[in-house]
Structure 1
Amino acid sequence: MACRITELVLDCRDPELLARFWCEVLGYVELDRDDGDIEIGPPGVGFGGPQPTIILSRSDEPRAGKLRLHIDVNPTDREQDAELERLLAAGARPVDVGQTGEESWHVLADPEGNEFCLLRRRVAEVRSVK
């Protein structure tokens, strides 16, 4: 028997802002609200589906500095350059972490500065099973 990642929890100052951002980036929807926290996930699937949900947990003091874990995303319906433009328009910003410029990925930050990477390879969209 093994475990499976079902939720990722991200401490943040403004769960509303980050819920909107990550829903736009991932095509997720709001699933639940509990005591200021917002859980988002794939539409029509919810908790326990093939993709983990994300809980945006309100914190007055989210961890500062580089996180030990970051999110990587891949485009599903367009090439990397077009997806980069979409993410920047949604509120992401480029981040310099010492890249050489030769990498096949882009390092970005969400509106609260949490780093994530946009990878080059297109992947198939995960569709809900009904």
Structure 2
Amino acid sequence: MNIKSLLSKTLALSLLAGSLAVATVSAAEEAAFDVRPVPVKTPPPQFPSDMQRQGVSGVVAVRVVIDETGGVSECSVSKSSHTEFEQAALNAVKNWKFKPASKGGVAVKASVVIPIKFSVET
């Protein structure tokens, strides 16, 4: 496939984290809350231009700590298919906002792993 035809393909970025139902949580972490955090603002990551030009797709699993106000207090890469996607995923998730998790009706800190999928549609 030549560069011109590759660049003419439609590129799409899809976030699997539209619902935290796809997020993974360990049993110990889940015991820390009754109600999972819910994303309310999820700006998408910037697709790295080199990966976009090459037509490469991938997934980054981001471990996110959501504080009692629904802000992201920490985030780190748990796993990724390509290191080139990691910084874009982290930069985006740092700006996400959530309805915080709760335990007994009180907002609590929660840690979840959210997969961010970068895909090139043909």
TM-score of the two chains, using structure 2 as the length reference: 0.22
Q: Which has the higher strand share?
A: 2
TM-score of the two chains, using structure 1 as the length reference: 0.21
Q: Which has the higher helix share?
A: 2
